[in-house]
Structure 1
Amino acid sequence: MDATVSPNAYQPPKGAAQFGLAMRFALREMRAGLSGFLIFVACIALGVGAIAGVNSVARAIADGVANQGQTLLGADMRFELNQREANEQERAFLNGLGTLAVSAGMRSMARLADGSDQALVEAKAVDPAYPLYGTLETEPALSRDDLFGLRDGAYGAAAPQILFDRLALKVGDSIELGSQRIQLRALLTNEPDAISDGFGFAPRLLMSMEALKASGLIQPGSLVEHVYKVRLPGGSSEAQLQAVKDRAQAEFPQAGWSIRSRTNAAPALSANIERFSQFLTLVGLTALVVGGVGVANAVRAYLDSKRGVIATFKSLGASGGFVFSVYLIQIMLIASIGIAIGLVLGVLMPFAAKAALASLIPVPAESGVYPGALAVAVIFGVLVTLAFAVLPLGRARDVPATALFRELGFEAKGLPRIAYVATAIGAGVLLATLAVLFSSDKRIAIIFVAAAVASFLVLRGVGGLVQALARRAPSVRSTPLRLAIGNIHRPGALTPSVVLSLGLGLTLVVTLALIDGNLRRQISGTIAERAPNFFFVDVQPAEIDDFVKFVQAESPRGAIQRVPMLRGRVVALNGVDAQTVKVPPEGAWVLRGDRGITYSEAIPENAVISEGEWWPKDYAGEPLVSFSADEAQQIGLKLGDTVTVNVLGRNITAKIANMRRVQWESLGINFVMVFSPNTFAGAPHSWLATLREQNAAPADEAKLLNAVTKQFPAVTSVRVKDALDVVNQLVGQLGTAIRTAAAVALVASVLVLSGALAAGNRARVHDAVVLKTLGATRRTLMAAFSLEYLLIGLATAIFALIAGGVAAWYVVARVMKLPSVFLPEVAVATIVLALVLTVGFGLLGTWRILGQKAAPVLREL
């Protein structure tokens, strides 16, 4: 209850007038500056800046893709067919839309004329209309005829520097592609529509359509992508583009072409940017929530320093609500400073990222201010401040003036009034709700919110457990250790704040480090050991037997596996258009684009039937398909359901006869869909083969690759180790970006840690002075404080290892379906980091405390 006041005491006005008076008092008190609130401001600014900046950069890239959609796509509309060219009716339809540019792409082997070396390339053949938009840039700049024309039996081509380096070539040198000699006449410096073709593992080799046809690589069943790009006359709106797409699908329902417009020029890039920005936003929100702990610490410390002022307010008749209003206004005004700083960082980040991302993403980010991204960050900043400031302010409201005059601070037990608890919980619930609503992947956002709440509650419990253990610890003879244990569980101890602030950041770091370490271990270790040495693609049916004999002769200890292969696209599930079926993101890839498919009379060697039965030998009934069990579950398919795929311009519907467990991490021959042989009777196709030879030396692999390329120039040979090196490099770049993002949360943890230690300095001054008066030496006190910080840091690190280990195991084992192991080096690094941070920051503040003179402090006791 408030202190009793006389009837003649000053009574503050009510309503708007009371708010105005509270505002005046709040502003007057803030004239003293932001002393004690620098960490508060830094925490808010860091979290708000991270959220605003990440979303602004994502918006800038998205705008860059949207504004340059024609150039990135190289057309207004793009039609893609796999393993076949457009027929006469389809070609007439495309020609009727506007100006048409035709290209074809496939992987193949480029080899030196003397056969001494070779390299995998992404061959892209274009016609004279290319490019419809943008500019093809080469060095030196050549006319189309000079660049691609036939001279002395050789067609011309352009390639990026990496291909010249890989084969030790220079401009003007020649290579062999299939049965055709190709002269590299220029360095390819800008391919305007490269991003629309997606990510490639090999360097580009740009040539004419005539050159690719002359190479002999295009055979029935070859894995060739035929692309038809259209420039519509006079431009067109999004509605008109959609109308053209609908008309194409209606007039040619079995064409099986993939259609994109300039509004969706690079769907894979856009999706990846959206997912990564969501991840970074959640990391930024983590930093903001961690900073919320710093807000609570700063508010408690500030109110403790103002206890005399608050007591005076109450003695003069001010209500608890008036006191609450005064200091809530101050806290929100100070938070607005941090939010403003964060917004400045968010506005500047797209400009800074534009140059940094130029070499990584071939899309220029649009520099500008994005109010939507900034507004989201402001809302998050305000809600976090409110959620963490209301409870300490509510406690201050109900402390009587007499208690404030005689006590050191606000150490009351229990919760404040229900209205303040409800306000804090409401702000937290609204924060979590908005985090989910603003996320593209609601499931991931819900998991994140649940994990954050659980971590928060568990860390509070861990802090309480550490204090309980310290309280029940047996008496020890060492004076410093006895003091340290007492400090851990005494009223107003730093333990809960330190464990909570440092625990969240360390747990995130441990989780990401273990995920990154397990991925690297799988790619460079387990997967590399289990994967085949080579994939051989586009082996023609007429030469498959000779090819297998040749490879067996060259590698007698190797194991060869071969399967027929086609490309198909899922167009319907149970008769429903696949584009309208809503599936979770982890299974959406099956329905996006073309998939490799095969047929088999017997169960594949690496398959395990989990449900249903395989079809009998010489089966001749309705088409059947064996579906990957995990992907079927994600999509929502079951035994007896039907899947319609478009293959070579025909829609084929098959019933799911069984489910298979697929080990994708083996990198062996695996398919989502394996059909009964009668499904594709008579359809042209090529063969896919793998060679696995354990302990094969690099020299032996190089010799085999050279021999296969010479003997079968149309066969594409992919050395798995080279592909894994590319993947490992990408994982490394992604890991660096993720660790950098996690560092934001860790920096917030460090800020909160230093703030918590600073907030406890006043109590430490009294402790140190009293102990020194009683005869304790500075050495004893330093040892006691060091042991206290050491024990708290060790407890926090142990929790971070357990919680981070469980989280990483779930992601790796359950989400990624990969073996997960605990990495000891991560444990050691986490423990060292926790101890360095807690002991280091603790001793920095303690050293200044121990230098305080006793007399001024004793006079205040």
Structure 2
Amino acid sequence: MEWQLAWRLFKRELAQGQLMLIVLAITLAVLSVSGLARVSERLQVAINGEAANFIAADRIINSPEKLNPEVLAIADQLSLKHVTNMEFNSMVYAGDKFQLVTIKAVGDGYPLKGQVELANADKVSTQLPVSGHAWYENRLGGLLGFPDSIELGNIELSLSAEISRLPDGGFNPFASAPVLLMRLDDVAATGIIQPGSRVSYVYQFVGEADALKQFEQQAKPLLNNSQRWIDVQTGDSPIASAVKRAERFLLLASLLGIALACAAIGIAAQRYCQRHYDVVAMLKTFGASAKQIRLLFGLHLLLVTFLGIGLGLLGGVLLDLAITQYLPAEIAAYSPPYLRPILLGLSTGLISAFMFSAYPLMRLLAIPPLRVLQRQLEGLQLGMWLHLLLSLGAMALLGYLYSRSIELTMTVVLTVLLLGLLLSILGFVMIRMGHSVGMKTTNPFQLALAGLRRRARQNAVQLVGFSSALVLLLTILALRQDLLNEWQKQLPENAPNYFLVNIAPEDTQPLQAFLDEHHIQATDIYPVIRGRLTHINDEELISGREKRDGVEGRVGISRELNLTYRDSLPPHNPIVEGTFNQADDEVSVESGVAERLDLKLNDTMTFNIDNQSFTVKVTSFRKVQWETLQPNFFMIFRPAALAPFSYTSMASFHLNDEDMKARGSDLTANAAVLQLIQQFPTISVIDVGAMVAQLRQIIDQVSLSLTLVLALVLLASALVLIAQTEAGMATRQRELAVLRTFGASGWLLRAATGLEFALLGAIAGLLAVIVAEFALYMLKTQVFELVVYMHWPWWAIAPFSGAVVVSILGMWRCRQLLNQSCSDLLKAG
């Protein structure tokens, strides 16, 4: 009986369109989660996949000793491909010349990701050097006079190809030793590796995401303190921070989209239950039991929920298929499994529909039969705390299921709770301010204020919905733009694509003259001196290994640092605390290192260079953007502090064929660089153009993902606005009937209604700006590490836009009511 009645009620209300809003809300929630999960997972996998080319693998284990065979056995069990490489320093000889090099001995299968690019035009290697041969960097050839072969230990290697770029070459302009690539099988014959030799074993792995996750869980506990686990986010990838920020943004925006869709479900469910107050009262009057009514409306809600879930899952699949058509081929090639998005969509539909509808449904079932005679009776009046608890619980559960991050989930939940409380208080106070004016109704403006006052409680709730949508929209819009601007500033079109290192002091002036002659705009030439930090505040520092072995003391940096000096700080190194250029014995420290070393202003630091010690005072901390491909340093001194020590220098510049042609030169960029190498054979030229192009491609992919997420949040925001407008239609219909009865003209009612919605939208816009500025401050300082600034144009644009959008939505929804006659309104009411 109940099933048949629920089915009939469902079909009737579906045909009349009364279920449209709640079905759309559930559909959007499921579509947002399933479609967005699929799209964002595809983009995250693609971004990480492309970024993995920077380390030539998905995962790396770097070890000073051979890896535990059990770890490789686990990789084999999970069907992961892996390759073993070795890296160490050694001297090579060519005739009477010798040079320190970094030996990169690679095994079969290297590289697992990316490609080795050779210097010959458009030549990409799919093979490794054959036994007895080696490949070399250009600067090694220049330093040794481009010999046909070299001696390495006990063997002689033929130099058969010049390397243009290695996929895992990283980016270290301070590296003093050029790279020599050889076969791992040839290392034993050299006789170089002996017990106690300093060697890095590099184990690279690739495979499916689930297998990699299992491998990480099983292999990490088997690693010791000297072994490092590396991926694209923790390794030496120059786009690590870009990938992290993009993933955090995708998760944050997705969670906000879920919150908006759930808010729309709650609003729609409340409206649905209000429409059925009279139905429940009638059923109780005719003798229906509480159990029968609960079963009837429970089944009805279940049918509505499954319809919304079905449409949402279908929409999610179509959304993924549609977006995939417009994605670059390298992104579309990545295809994460469908299971998780489908399960997330199903869970979202069920959890949001029932937990956000629980309190409105309780109020519906508590309607007394006497309401048939007294329409103002609504039954259950208490229990909003339960509704709030269920809603926040649902949001937290859905957020965690989606993001799998407790920190991010709790941040969003607490922000939403604070936002709702603040907006409710401010909105109610601001609306009550119209009390004295709202008593008069001689013109549209006064009538609009009177309407705001009469519906003060309802309008305060509506303000929460309107403002929440605007806050989340402004937040996502600002973060997206700031992230893109930040990446664009870090990697502008003229970002350096060549680095010059090992510049001798006597070559500094001739080099500058060469750059000026060819109109090459380079960065400043920075002196570079290697030194070791030994004491802080006269306290001797220990290494991390010593700390792990139980030695007491303050941990320092267990390697030599590259130091520089200047009269003033570089323009891309803003001071975050302190001052510079006040005394000869001062040092400016990068803020991240300062935090790691627990440094304070006016602390003293003692350095050792060439067995000479000197002490300086910390006078400032700097913010350094390491992704800018500019010369950057942990420590910057005043010239007097480092004057006694010998140094080499470095610089970087941007150069391409278009630049040379624009400057009136007949030379190509390669020809100009070749001239520079010939004129200054001791200077090492590092070409990072290919890496810059790959980095820019990844940032373009990230930009696309941010745009897609923004579009879905826009859709969710629009649905919340529509749901809030719909929620007050019944009350507004009765008021219009009364005003028509007392002779109010159609023009007056239309003008007053439009002004009322406009005022509500303007207040919502103003409140949204206040809260959005606060939310952006918290997110930028605590999550994304972006520069904080006020968005002054918003203070005018947001209230105006809120007034326009809300008034248009309100007038569009009220258009039929405003065109009806007094008798029609009374009959419908």
Structure 1 length normalisation: TM-score? 0.64
Cα gap change, 1:818/1:481 in structure 2, threshold over 3 Å: closer, same or farther? same
> 1:377 maps to which residue?
345
Aligned match of 1:512 in 461, 476, 489?
Answer: 476
Worse-matched range after superposition: 34-43 or 466-475: 466-475
Name stretches of at least 5 consecutive residues in structure 2 with no aligned partner: 74-81, 89-101, 126-136, 143-158, 166-171, 186-202, 533-540, 549-555, 606-613
Deviation at 1:430, TM superposition (A): 5.1
CA drift at 1:790: 0.8
Structure 1 position 52, deviation (Å): 2.1
Equivalent residue of 1:775, what SS? coil
SS in 2 for 1:671: coil
In the alignment, does 2:270 pair up with 1:312? no
**Post-superposition offset of 1:30:** 2.0
Instruction: Call closer, same or farther: CA 1:533–1:345 in 2, change over 3 Å.
Output: closer
Counterpart of 2:459? 495
- Residue 12 of structure 2 corresponds to 32
Residue of structure 1 in register with 2:649 after alignment: 687
Q: Which residue number in structure 2 is paired with residue 5 of structure 1?
A: none
Residue of 449, 453, 466 corresponding to 1:485: 449
What one-letter code is carried by the residue in structure 2 that aligns with 1:53? Answer: G
Q: How many residues align?
A: 716
The equivalent of 2:432 in structure 1 is 468
Structure-2-length-normalised TM-score: 0.66
Aligned partners of 1:299 and 1:502: how far apart in 2?
A: 17
Which fold has the larger relative contact order, with Cα–Cα distance below 8 Å and residues 6 or more apart in sequence? 1
Distance 1:499 1:657, change over 3 A: same
Q: Distance in 2 between matches of 1:302 and 1:461?
A: 26
1:836 aligned partner: 804
| 1:52 counterpart = 2:34 | yes
Residue of structure 2 equivalent to 1:187: none
Match of 1:550 among 506, 510, 513: 513
More deviation in 55-64 or 797-806?
Answer: 55-64
How far did 1:510 drift? 1.9
Contact conserved, 1:78 with 1:230, CA < 8 A, in 2? Answer: no
Q: What SS does the corresponding residue of 2:408 show, helix, strand or coil?
A: helix
Q: Displacement, 1:855?
A: 2.8
What is the correspondence of 1:564-643 to structure 2 with a 5 Å cutoff? 564=528, 576=544, 597-599=561-563, 605=569, 628-633=590-595
Aligned counterparts of 2:597 and 2:372: Cα–Cα separation in 1:
63
How far apart are 1:388 and its partner, in Å?
Answer: 2.7
Ranges in structure 1 where 5+ consecutive residues have no aligned partner = 1-20, 105-123, 138-143, 149-153, 161-175, 182-207, 581-589, 620-624, 644-653
SS of equivalent to 2:403? coil
CA shift in 2, pair 1:730/1:635, >3 Å: farther
What corresponds to 1:422 in structure 2?
386
More displaced 10-residue stretch of structure 1: 666-675 or 446-455: 666-675
Contact 1:487 1:788 survives alignment (8 Å): yes
Shift of 1:539: 3.1
Give the 3 Å change call, closer, same or farther, for CA 674–596 of structure 1 in structure 2: farther
1:664 aligns with 2:629: no
Match of 2:162, SS state, is helix
Q: 1:539 aligns with which of 497, 502, 509?
A: 502
Gap change, CA 1:500 and 1:350, over 3 Å in 2: same
Query: How far does residue 310 in structure 1 lie from its aligned partner after superposition?
Result: 0.9
Contact 1:80 1:227 in 2 (8 A): no
1:29 aligned partner, one-letter code: L
CA contact (8 A) 1:538 1:687 kept: yes
In the alignment, structure 1 residue 388 sits paired with structure 2 residue 356 = yes
For 1:388 and 1:135, the matched residues in 2 are separated by: 47
- Opposite residue 339 of structure 1, the aligned amino acid is I
Q: 1:300 aligned to 2:251?
A: no
Aligned to 1:283: 253
Identify if the C-alpha distance between structure 1 residues 538 and 742 changes in structure 2 by more than 3 Å, giving closer, same or farther: same
Distance 1:241 1:817, change over 3 A: closer
Please name the residue that 2:422 is paired with. 458
SS in 2 for 1:537: strand
Deviation per CA, 1:185-231, whole angstroms, max 9, x where unpaired?
xxxxxxxxxxxxxxxxxxxxxxx9632499xxx99954756678989
Aligned-CA RMSD value: 6.5
Report the equivalent of 1:794.
762
The Cα of 1:738 is off from its aligned counterpart by 2.6
For residue 783 of structure 1, report the CA deviation from its aligned partner: 0.6
C-alpha distance in 1, partners of 2:704/2:49?
A: 30
1:780 — aligned with what? 748
CA distance in 2, matches of 1:557, 1:60: 40
Q: What are the residue-to-residue correspondences of 1:729-740 with 2, within 5 Å?
A: 734-735=702-703, 737-740=705-708
Seen in structure 2, the aligned counterparts of structure 1 residues 320 and 496 have a Cα distance that, compared at 3 Å, is farther
SS of 2:500's partner is strand
Question: Which SS does the other structure have where 1:210 is aligned?
Answer: strand
- CA shift for structure 1 position 305: 2.8
* Aligned-residue offset at 1:51: 1.8
SS at match of 2:373: helix
In structure 2, relative to structure 1, the CA distance for the partners of 1:709 and 1:234 (3 Å cut) is closer
Change in 2 beyond 3 A, CA 1:330/1:665? same
Q: Distance in 2 between matches of 1:478 and 1:578?
A: 84
2:307 corresponds to which letter in structure 1?
I
Q: Is the 8 A contact 2:57 2:111 kept in 1?
A: yes
In the TM superposition, 1:131-150 aligns within 5 A as 132=110
1:768 paired with 2:736, answer: yes
SS in 2 for 1:211: strand
The secondary structure found in structure 2 opposite 1:780 is helix
Query: One-letter code of the match for 2:411?
Result: I
Which of 154, 161, 172 lines up with 1:210 in the alignment?
161
Instruction: Give the stretch that moved more between structures: 261-270 or 627-636.
Output: 261-270
State which of 312, 323, 328 in structure 2 corresponds to 1:342: 312
Relative to structure 2, which stretch is displaced further, 42-51 or 787-796? 42-51
Deviation at 1:802, TM superposition (A): 1.8
Mapped partners of 1:69, 1:690: distance in 2: 24
Give the Cα–Cα distance (whole angstroms) in 2 for the partners of residues 248 and 300 of structure 1. 55
User: Letter of the aligned partner of 1:661 in structure 2?
Assistant: F
Between 1:447-456 and 1:555-564, the stretch displaced more is 555-564
- What SS does the corresponding residue of 1:300 show, helix, strand or coil? helix
Per the TM alignment, residue 750 of structure 1 is displaced from its structure 2 partner at its CA by: 1.7
Change (3 A) 1:839 1:556: closer
Could you tell me how far 1:277 is from its partner in structure 2?
5.0
Whole-Å separation in 2 of the counterparts to 1:234 and 1:467:
62
Question: Residues 564 and 598 of structure 1 are in contact (CA less than 8 Å); yes or no, is this contact kept in structure 2?
Answer: yes
**Alpha-carbon distance in structure 1 between the residues aligned to 2:520 and 2:58:** 52
Does the aligned pair in 1 maintain the 2:85–2:107 contact within 8 Å?
yes
Identity, % of aligned positions? 17
The corresponding residue for 2:369 is 401
Quote the residue 1:198 is aligned against. none
Alignment check: 8 A CA contact 1:294 1:755 kept: yes
Change in CA separation of 1:125 and 1:429 when aligned onto 2, cut-off 3 Å: same
Question: Counterpart of 2:266 in structure 1: which amino acid?
Answer: A
SS in 1 for 2:23: helix
1:64 positional shift = 8.1
Residue 446 of structure 1 aligns with which residue? 410
Distance 1:58 1:673 in 2: 39
Q: Distance in 1 between matches of 2:306 and 2:183?
A: 51
Other-structure match for 2:333: 364
Asked if 1 retains the 8 angstrom alpha-carbon contact of 2:419 and 2:468, the reply is yes
Corresponding position of 2:130? none
What is the distance in 2 between the residues matched to 1:247 and 1:676?
46
Alignment of 1:59-458 (within 5 A): 59=41, 132=110, 157-158=122-123, 210-212=161-163, 221-222=175-176, 224=178, 276=246, 279-318=249-288, 323-324=293-294, 326-348=296-318, 351-352=321-322, 354-359=324-329, 361=331, 364-366=333-335, 368-371=337-340, 373-407=341-375, 410=378, 416-418=381-383, 421-422=385-386, 424-429=388-393, 431-432=395-396, 435-436=399-400, 439=403, 441-458=405-422
Paired residue type of 2:649: W
Deviations 1:355-404 (A, max 9, x none): 5444464x822264224x43333333333333432222233333322234
- How many Å apart are 1:264 and its aligned residue? 11
